[in-house]
Structure 1
Amino acid sequence: MIQLKGMGGGLRCIIPEGLPDSDIPSALDDLVSQGEQVLKGAELVVDFEGRRVDGDLLCLVMKRLIWPLGIKVAAWRSLHGESLDLLKGAGLPVEEPRFSLPNRQPQPGQLPVMRLRRSLRSGQKVEHRGDVIVEGNVNDGAEVLAEGSVVVLGRLQGLVHAGTGGDEEAAVYARVFEAPQVRIGFKVGSMDRSDPWWGMPAVVSLEDGAVVVSQWPQV
């Protein structure tokens, strides 16, 4: 079943990764028939979650949902790495719009926060022009790229790049640190299982241009 959720001044259409491909056409038709009054002319985020997206699926969504109702797509979202690259390569907007973020009106100089209430599997990828909070694990083979800082409330085993625009004040926080590499700004830090912080709560930051690891702050 395709889900429709309200958020701020727009809507989010979630095409769950668990929905069989064969069921998508009828699910789109049901959504149009049942939600036409709400969707017509609306501003929408189309969220594929971790589903693989190809040209055929994009055309299907366009023909069955977007074009018939004159919907404006504010963003096309996917956690599937190759699919995200495909969406960007097609020139489609992939950044979360302001109305969908918890902090819709950040103070001057403050970066918008993306809160991800799930874990990321191998092959999944998140890119965001601000801070990112992952409430699950970032597993081996998953990627998080953020212009701001990254907080992982679970296990960090995949690749995290904080401060992708060169911000050396960005940092990476992980409740369980098990990542062989972390990037901050234009610096790369390599880690090893023999390091004392491996498997522990840790913070990775830059000091005097070098990647350093310290203990997670005590509350």
Structure 2
Amino acid sequence: MTAPTRPSTHTGKLLVALISRLHLYIGLFVGPFILIAALSGIAYLLSPPLEEWLYHDTLYGVNQGEPQPLAEQIAAAQRYLDSATLPSAVRPAPEPGSTTRLMYSEPSLGPSEHRAVFVDPISLEVTGDTTVYGTSGILPLRTAIDHFHRQLLMGNVGRLYSELAASWLWVAALGGVLLWIRQRRSLKALVSPHSTRRRHATLGLIISLGLLFFSATGLTWSQWAGAILRNFVMPGAGARQVPQRR
């Protein structure tokens, strides 16, 4: 006669099976997001030197001479726009040879967007006219990469998918760690060190802390989940506007 299976053993097997299925399905769900987020994050880090090259004629002007007063630079932008409207924000030239960024609010632009007119502070020549984002006046290239990183260029649908993926990422990471711990204790898990399964487990264990950090920080900057987290930590903070920039 065989001994009856103990309830604790049966429950443990069901729990392991549940964790294994969640780890698999969540991995399939968040995998595309992780790939896109990683590639777009790298592109975002590389965007400043790319912008220096792409917008060089806009960002730089004459580097020899005496800079004109800021009022004269604003007047040059007003003549260019054929309007007496004052800019909503001004970023003076940060160094000799660079241009001043004058930002104007227009009803046709989206949230946090401004029309930026770039003026050479020495020659008072307008070197550029483009749409920028945020109070710092981020240029179109970095803005496009950032929107792709946060929304996958799909608006709220892409942002919702990103939040769901970040919300479940920590479950997949911790589930993988628990499965690795169980397999280490089992003789059946002693497979070849060169097997795909062993490599997956080893790599997953190494990057698990990074995935947890990625999930936590991503959620704090998210629109819906971030508001809940901020309201939990600081009651009433969830109603504040979600930061648009890092």
Common fold: TM-score over 0.5:
no
Larger Rg: 2
TM-score normalized by the length of structure 1: 0.22
Q: Which has the higher contact order (CA 8 A, sep 6+)?
A: 2
TM-score, with normalisation over the residues of structure 2?
A: 0.21
